[in-house]
Every structure is written in C-alpha cells, then in structure tokens.
Structure 1
Amino acid sequence: MEVQELHAWPSSPEEAKALQDRLRPSLELGDPGPQRPATIAGLDVSYADDGGRLAAAVVVLDGVTLETVEEAVVTGVAAFPYVPGLFAFRELPTLLVVLRRLDTTPDLLVCDGAGLAHPRRFGLACHLGVLTGLPTMGVAKTRLFGKHDEPGSRRGATADLLDDGGEVVGRVLRTQDGVKPVYVSVGHRIDLDTACRHTLTLSPEFRLPETTRRADRLSRAALRDA
C-alpha cells in the first residue's frame, strides 16, 4: 500500500510535541467508520532486550472469517528515545516501512496503543491515521491516560475513560468474562461505538484482538531470527 511522508521526523521532544499539536486538527472524528470492513490490519512492535532493536509487523485479516490474508515484518532500530507521551515516534518510521510492504490496502488499522486516550489527544493510532488516511483505532493493553470506573465482569461490559475535565477519551472494554479489560480509543475516521464493536469481533476467544495477537507473534519471531 502507498504511504506518503507528510512531515520530517523530529529530533527532540519539543519538536515532537509541536508536531503532534500541528497534526491534531487533521483528525476526522465524526465519521462512524467502516461498519463491515472486508480487511482489518493489526500492527505491533516488539523490542529486543537491548531496547534499541525492534521488529514491526502488520497482519491483515479477513473481516468476516478472521483468517490471515497477508502479513509483513521488518526489523530496525528505535527512531526516538523513550519519552512518555511520545512513544509513537519510536515506532512510526518502521511501521510505515512495513505498511508499504503490503499489497492490500486494509479497510481498518488496529494499533497496539492509544488514539485520543493520550495526554495531547494524539497517540499512535491518531498519528498513523493521519499519515495513511485510513480509519484507525487503538486497543491498548494498559491505560496510558484518563480515569475510569471498573466495568462489569462479563464480556462486552464497558466503562468510559475520562480526562480530568470529564470528557470521554476512550472506553474500557471487557473482551472476555472475568479477564482484565482493554482500553479502546479512536484514532482517525471511526467512532468509539464502532471501534468497540470491532474489538469484540476481533476477540472471539482471548483478551487481546486477533490483529494484535498475530502481529505480536510475527514481530517476536522476527527478532528471534534476526
């Protein structure tokens, strides 16, 4: 698939924050997004023990059967130091490389990370959505930002993820009975209800969506073989 370079990559935290602020108005947040995506891509990045080397993977699933239809993986090095709230800048350059390896242009991208549930409302899913122009959502394993009540214990139970002013920035979603929830937030060209519905569809058996599980396996294997 084609991905254009829309900006130069920052060399300092100050430049990175300024870039997030500049790109945030480009987000399209009123679109309900794809209701029946034919293909859904999951992206994940694994790190070597030294913290510098990484592998970025993308796995494209059939939106109905969840069968894998295409996958790609590349290895590289972290492009930015670890700074809270700027984690996307470590991964995005390599993620864009791996997306360009795809023959398929997915109808939806699912990131292992945050979208609007971010201190500057511009997490990895937002940034990737702006760069690709594709509907993009984030499903995070842990909470990066916001506060919430505990959702019910059954699959499908939710609680709003709120900022300090009470604005909804995401949703805490229980994908399986009695397991820890995941943290869903929109990135670009999709609404929160649709993102949560797709997260449940992608998680028929396990806590994490199959998009994330398969991309995680692929990236870890690439690191082992590197």
Structure 2
Amino acid sequence: MDHTPAVDEAVQLQLELAHLVEPNAPEGFAPKIAAGLDVAYEPGSDRLVAAAVCVDIATLAIVDSAVHEAVADFPYVPGLFGFRELPALLPALDKLSTTPDILVCDGQGLAHPRRFGLACHIGVVTGLPSIGVGKQALGRYEPPGPTRGDWKPLVDNGEIVGRALRTQDDVKPVFVSIGHRIDLDTATGLVLKLSPRYRLPETTRAADHLGREVLAGRVGVQDVRD
C-alpha cells in the first residue's frame, strides 16, 4: 500500500483483491515453520507494536522473532483491520531472518463480509500461505462437540467460510478460516498441531506475549532482533 486509502476506497480494494485468494495449498505442502502475527496497541493511543514469531511446528520451539513499532494512520474500522495493521506487520515479517512456511493471523481470513480478512490480505500481499484464527465468529455455527478436534461449519450468507474448532476439551472454540494458498482441512490440522495445550495456537500466544512485552518496555527492540 503506497498510501493510506480512505474507508470507501479500502472497501473497494478488498472487493477487487478478494478474487486473488487461492483456496488450495501448494503441491507437496509440508510446512515446518509457522509465523504467528499479532498487533498490540497502547491503551488510548494509536501507537502499536506488530510482532512476528516463528515456531517450529514439530516442537513448538520459538526459532525467530521480530517486532515493528509504529503509529497507526488508518482508523479502527471493523472489517478493515488489514489496512490498519499490515503497514506494521509487513516490516516485522521483513525483519525475520527465517522465512516462514505459513502465517497464522490473530483474526479472520475468508470469514469476512467481503471474504478478504486480514489473513487473506497479508497472504495475497506476501504470497505466503496463511490462516486466520479468530476468537470471535463472523457468521453462524452450531456448537461443535465437546472434544478436542470437533468442529462445525461456520456459515455466512449461506456460504461456508470457515470452521468453529474445538482445540481443547470443553473449551470455547476458535474460528478457523483460510487466508491464502491453503485449504480448510489443512488449516484445521495445522491449528490443532499448534494448539496442544491451550485454546489459542502457540504462534498466536507467542506473538501476543512479545508485542505486549515490547509495548510495556520490558523487552527492547534490539533485544528482539539479537
């Protein structure tokens, strides 16, 4: 994004870019490194910290991380978070010394009014496979069964846009939707792999923790890069 669009321009851009989303994983897709992406905001301010944390999918060990501090210049508008957060998330990704195989966003992908949530937006811009894992549902769903791995379709305007997925027994589901270059079955399996102990994936938890620590001044930017 070379300039900050107006709200109506941003909506139009989403509609134009949505057709670029690829709902299939690349041939032979076998991701080893997942990058969790999250943005922490200073209360009462537009100051933010975008965090990218790379996790080894097999061991869940953190192998790389980076942050980018910025001030948001796009307003808080539901459904347009990509325009508010991408300008900071992309530099954070660029600072990584590891190229992730998959991006895991704290937000929506296809489960979006215009089928172009943050996970779709960053996937299309970077060309990397991406998944949206939301805490709140966009659409309607029947409650999944109580057991880890149970899921039900997430439906919006008669279209399946994701899944309500139980990542832990008897815990509230998360809402998984594809972002780019991945299918829903593969996305669901990866989210379960990344969530062995808690409701949210370890990628999301690690990125959220790092962003909050930097925002609070407990971790310096230089420390993150070292």
Q: TM-score, normalised by structure 2?
A: 0.93
Q: Which residue of 2 aligns with 1:38?
A: 32
Question: Any gaps of 5 or more consecutive residues in structure 2?
Answer: 221-226
Q: Which residue of 1 aligns with 2:105?
A: 111
Q: Which residue of 1 aligns with 2:176?
A: 184
1:102-145 deviations in Å (ceiling 9; x for gaps): 111110000000000000000000000011000001001111x2
Separation (CA, whole Å) in 2 of partners of 1:59 and 1:118: 25
Contact kept, 8 Å, 1:33 with 1:189, in 2: the verdict is: no
Q: Which residue of 2 aligns with 1:60?
A: 54
Residues 1:100 and 2:100 aligned together: no
Q: Which residue of 1 aligns with 2:142?
A: 149
Contact kept, 8 Å, 2:105 with 2:118, in 1: the verdict is: yes
Letter matched to residue 203 of structure 2: T
Displacement after TM superposition at 1:28 (Å):
1.1
Partner SS for 1:218? helix
Letter matched to residue 201 of structure 1: K
Letter matched to residue 181 of structure 2: R
Aligned alpha-carbon RMSD (Å): 1.4
Separation (CA, whole Å) in 1 of partners of 2:9 and 2:54: 33
Separation (CA, whole Å) in 1 of partners of 2:3 and 2:39: 19
Separation (CA, whole Å) in 1 of partners of 2:13 and 2:3: 9
Residues 1:77 and 2:81 aligned together: no
Contact kept, 8 Å, 2:194 with 2:203, in 1: the verdict is: yes
Letter matched to residue 163 of structure 1: D
Displacement after TM superposition at 1:161 (Å):
0.3
Q: Which residue of 1 aligns with 2:208?
A: 216
Q: 1:9 to 1:148 in 2, by over 3 A?
A: farther
Residues 1:163 and 2:156 aligned together: yes
Contact kept, 8 Å, 2:25 with 2:129, in 1: the verdict is: no
Q: 1:83 to 1:34 in 2, by over 3 A?
A: farther
Q: TM-score, normalised by structure 1?
A: 0.93
Letter matched to residue 91 of structure 1: E
Separation (CA, whole Å) in 2 of partners of 1:184 and 1:79: 28
Q: 1:107 to 1:33 in 2, by over 3 A?
A: farther
Q: Which residue of 2 aligns with 1:204?
A: 196
**Aligned residues with identical type, % of pairs:** 56
Q: 1:89 to 1:183 in 2, by over 3 A?
A: same
Contact kept, 8 Å, 1:32 with 1:194, in 2: the verdict is: no
* Map 1:8-23 → 2, pairs under 5 A: 8-23=2-17
Contact kept, 8 Å, 1:34 with 1:107, in 2: the verdict is: no
Letter matched to residue 136 of structure 1: S
Q: Which residue of 2 aligns with 1:91?
A: 85
